[in-house]
Amino acid sequence: MKRHARSSTWTKPSPSCGRSRRPTPPRRNPGPLSTRGLRPAWLGLAAALALAALPVGAGATGSLKLSTWNLEWLTVRPQGDPALPADVTPRTAAELDRLAHYASRLAPDIAALEEVDSPQLVARLFPAQHYRIFISNDPVVQKVALAVRADLAVVRHADVTALDVYPPSAPHHLRAGLDLTIGQGADSLRVLVVHLKAGCRDSQPTDRKPACQTLMRQIAIVQDWIMERQDEGEAFVVMGDFNRLLAPDDPAWRALSENGPLILATAGRASPCAQGNYFIDHIIAGGPAREWLRPDSLRVMLYRENGHDDPTRLSDHCPVSVRLLPP
């Protein structure tokens, strides 16, 4: 059966730091997508813009397509594996094939990936003839990774292990950040891939919820990384699953941007993914990369089949992409 991937974004006022009322559960045993409709206030949103995905490297001349995609427990460990929650199921061959289909449609030059267990599984989606795969050295199942177009120069830096703010004795640990430089010379781009603590999508600065305190400690680590890049005058992006509704009045965004101007590609937009919601997957550009970000290039690829939503949830996140035009 032929499947179609649609890319779109919705224009929408930026979220405030008031609490969201819509929880999003993690992936467990696959079930049907929610049938709940969009919030009434969203009825006036602009129509989605559909774009066909291009083959690898076939974008606008000289541009780079950057994507971030949370693949939701991309693992083939058997159910009951001690490293997994009890109700998480392994990916089937059919699911991997379908994810590979959408990865081919997405055709990024650089893809930040979250919740991946091994480079071999990532290579099922982004094959070695087209991409080089880099993955964090975490003792966790939900690692972060980067798929980089094979002809691009890459320098890997030490993982940002400070993002695991839990003590060594903690029963579970948080994910490190993946830090690389892509390209050479004046058009080189420093990239940090993150997947931050869940459970604090929005909060006030005085919120004492443990998940919020943990996330804000991680935000401080990302802020330090950003400050180092700004001090060096580097072009950089931070992308991944922030588990946070970043907005101008959000304390997390204010912390990230207080030392110099940044561009939040998802600002003022809502994602059409999974019945629609504000973004928690973000791409942030800083330094010279702010000038490289192509206006209105933000896209979200949806899981579609014959013009209808795919009945099987391949992930509870959709790929989010932008284009950069380096000098």
At residue 66 the predicted structure's pLDDT band, cuts being 50, 70 and 90, is very high
Q: Is the pLDDT of residue 259 over 60?
A: yes
Per-residue confidence band for 58, with pLDDT thresholds at 50, 70 and 90: very low
What average pLDDT does this structure show over 31-48?
A: 31
pLDDT of residue 33: 30
Whether the predicted pLDDT of 41 surpasses 80:
no
Provide long-range contacts, Cβ within 8 A and 24+ apart, for 46-52: 46/10, 46/11, 48/6, 48/8, 48/9, 48/10, 48/272, 49/7, 49/8, 49/9, 50/6, 50/7, 50/8, 51/6, 51/7, 51/8, 51/299
Mean pLDDT across the chain: 84
pLDDT confidence band for 7 (50 / 70 / 90): low
The answer on pLDDT for 260 being more than 70 is yes
